[in-house]
Amino acid sequence: MSTIPRRPLSAVLPALLALLAAVLFAAVPTASARTEAVPTATLTEVTGFGTNPSNLQMYLYVPANVTAHPAVVVAVHYCTGSGPAMYNGTEWAQLADTYGFVVIYPSVTRSSKCFDVSSPQALKRGGGSDPVGIKSMIDWTVNAYSADTARIYATGISSGAMMTNVLLGDYPDVFAAGAAFSGVPFGCFATTDGSEWNSACSGGTITHTPQEWGDLVRAAYPGYTGTRPRMQVWHGTEDDVLRYPNFGEEIKEWTNVLGVSQTPAATDSPVSGWTRTRYGATGDRAPVEAISLQGVGHNLYSWGMADRALTFFGLNAGGPAPEPQPGACKVTATTNAWNTGLTASVTVTNTGTTTVNGWKLAFTLPTGQTITNGWGVTYSPASGAVTATNAAYNGTIAPNASVSIGYQANHSGNSAAPGGFTLNGASCTSG
């Protein structure tokens, strides 16, 4: 192992600085990394951490006040960067000092200093290349510090943001959440010719349906049916390296993977020029959160953003509990029409395994229909994209239980039933 001082010394004679550095490096233990804990409050390179097919380096920061069974954050650098550069250029180590978690800084040794997010090996669980090496770093850290395997997170900038997408796709059972700053969707950068760069993706010209994006993620770990990690994505509207359309494609991908509506459950502007949308829930730990920065280019990351990612992860003291992801649902809708009017009957069934407490059913009325009155819920607005909010007496839906509601509406010739149902942001099947 080798250690890197956390802060550069200043106003010290060069000779003394060289002497101190020599003493520091001479004092580093040379025993097997797997059998010794690393020094605290300093960045340390760990060697021999496990399977590492692409020869990544592992740097680790353990705060002096590391908690028992700590959380782990994997902080992934940008192209031309390194683990130490990520350590010095972001506040993850300072946040670790405050909250007691451990930070892993993977570091690329190939000449480009970019992570492999392109090869078939990288886009498959256990397929080889960088993701396998990073997973070994996590395993080593979990073993060395009895880390909490339910609180492992990934974050990255640019190439590291792309790797964050890849890690969450390859290892959904490992990560609780990710935060990607200026990245692209999982699978967007895929190549088969050995190239690390995909110009179509970087240019923002690769688009897919949400289902197609989601299928790419699911194909990385076929047969996996467990919980998927939450995702936070950041992008500048003037990004000239990984163009802004990639931001929308990431949202499509992860809302599909997490089974929530692409219609935001909440929209706000926490900072002037920022637009934040949340999908599937409204709080700080929604399934998907997206932050768009107006007029900002590729190098959007600035001090303080990691703290916002930490809030999304839920690692800051006093943070809110995670909002439950919406359960599965099924909706049956029928209409009984006459000349210019109709009556609609809608049955909502909770097909999930947990009770729904308080609900909103969103749907779209056919063109030309306007609700004139209804029962069981409050409808707003009366046409177009409608939200039905539960009444006081039917706000709880137990697993496998149903609630029936209805309305009367005028129509101009199209008396079809509504469609596109979502319950608390989760897409419902129709039956």
Instruction: Report the alpha-carbon angle 51-71-182, nearest 5.
Output: 75
Give the chain's residues under pLDDT 50: 5-35, 319-326
8 A C-beta contact, residue 275 and residue 292: yes
Residue 373: strand pairing partners: 408
Instruction: List Cα–Cα distances, 158 to 230, 232, 288, in angstroms.
Output: 19, 14, 19
Report the side by side order of strands in the sheet with 385-390. Answer: 377-380, 385-390, 360-364, 419-423, 426-427
Cis peptide bond prior to 53, omega within 30° of 0: no
For residue 327, the model assigns a pLDDT of: 56
pLDDT in tens, 95-106: 999 999 999 999
To 10 degrees, the CA torsion angle through 331, 337, 342, 347? -20
Which DSSP string corresponds to 232-297? EEEEETT-TTTTTHHHHHHHHHHHHHTTB-SS-SEEE-SSTTEEEEEES-SSTT-SEEEEEETT--
Report CA 242 to chain centroid distance, whole Å. Answer: 18
Paired tokens of 205: 């010209």
For residue 14, the model assigns a pLDDT of: 38
Catalytic residue among 82, 158, 182, 292: 158
158 carries an active-site annotation:
yes
For residue 16, the model assigns a pLDDT of: 35
Those residues whose C-beta lies under 8 Å from the C-beta of residue 367, and which sit 6 or more positions away, are 414
For residue 7, the model assigns a pLDDT of: 44
For residue 1, the model assigns a pLDDT of: 62
8 A C-beta contact, residue 153 and residue 174: no
Those residues whose C-beta lies under 8 Å from the C-beta of residue 198, and which sit 6 or more positions away, are 118, 188, 189, 190, 191, 206
Burial 328-364 (b: 16+ CB within 10 A, else e): bbbbbbebeeeeeebebebebbbbbeeebeebebbbe
For residue 321, the model assigns a pLDDT of: 44
For residue 13, the model assigns a pLDDT of: 35
Burial 268-278 (b: 16+ CB within 10 A, else e): eeeeeeebbbb
Rounded-to-integer distance, Cα 145 and Cα 363, Å: 48
For residue 427, the model assigns a pLDDT of: 81
Report CA 422 to chain centroid distance, whole Å. Answer: 21
For residue 19, the model assigns a pLDDT of: 37
Backbone angles phi, psi at 310, to 5 degrees: -60, -40
For residue 128, the model assigns a pLDDT of: 92
For residue 328, the model assigns a pLDDT of: 78
Paired tokens of 322: 């995670």
Q: Is residue 42 packed enough to be buried (19+ CB in 10 Å), middle (13-18) or exposed (0-12)?
A: middle
Paired tokens of 401: 């239980």
Residue 329: strand pairing partners: 350
Those residues whose C-beta lies under 8 Å from the C-beta of residue 393, and which sit 6 or more positions away, are none
Residue 335: strand pairing partners: 344
Within a 10 A sphere around the Cβ of 34, how many other Cβ atoms?
13
For residue 423, the model assigns a pLDDT of: 86
For residue 316, the model assigns a pLDDT of: 87
Burial 165-203 (b: 16+ CB within 10 A, else e): bbbbbbbbebbbbbbbbbbbbbbbbbeeeeebebeebbe
Is this prediction's pTM over 0.75?
Answer: no
For residue 20, the model assigns a pLDDT of: 35
